Amino acid sequence: MQDYCEECGFDGRDLTTGEVSARLGRVPDDVRAAMSVGDPAVLRHRPDPDTWSPVEYLGHLRDLMAWHRFLIEQGVAEDRPAVPIVDPDASVATSGYADADVDQLFEQFARRVERLRARIDALEPGQAARRIQWVQGEEIDVELVARSALHEGFHHTADLHRLTGTG
């Protein structure tokens, strides 16, 4: 979970959950702009075997929005829940995103962003500070999960612009 990233320049450490939600609302438009290339083959091209194609990044973003919402729901519903760790490379490898309908995948992504925003906006006082058991006994809070979701959108939008030549 990150709310600060030197690689992409994201710094969300001082953002409130309201600010995170508002900025998340702009992510789908940014992603759509990054995916708006004339040649659809660009969206399915992997520049090398270890780098996802733009459509695979889009699928990954779709999954991330649901994953972050799940983490927030768990953190609010349970006292210090332990959550499983997911391997994003394995998930993308088995997902079939390379052959997915880009428009449908984008619409699913946009809906998941809105559901995540609605969950963040519904946080009651004190819930953003609720704790979740993370990797190797580390604890994180719901607020970090929300900021991390925004970081993922920001970071991977930059990846998409780079891969599609739109940025």
Alpha helices in 12-130 (DSSP H): 17-24, 27-34, 54-77, 88-95, 102-121
Domain that holds residue 47: 4-164
Kindly report the backbone phi and psi dihedral angles of residue 141, in degrees, each rounded to the nearest multiple of 5, phi listed first. -115, 165
Please, which pLDDT band fits residue 123 given cuts at 50, 70 and 90? Answer: very high
Distance of alpha carbon 61 from its chain centroid, rounded?
A: 5
Say what the pTM is: 0.95
The yes-or-no verdict on residue 38 having pLDDT over 80 is no
Token output for 115: 């559901």
For residue 35, the model assigns a pLDDT of 95
| Tens-place pLDDT, residues 80-117 | 999 888 888 888 888 989 899 999 999 999 999 999 99
Q: The domain spanning residue 8 has which CATH number? A: 1.20.120.450
User: How many domains is the chain built from?
Assistant: 1
Please, which pLDDT band fits residue 44 given cuts at 50, 70 and 90? Answer: very high
Tokens 């091209």 label which residue?
45
**Is 120 in contact with 50 (CB distance < 8 Å)?**
no
**Is 59 in contact with 97 (CB distance < 8 Å)?**
yes
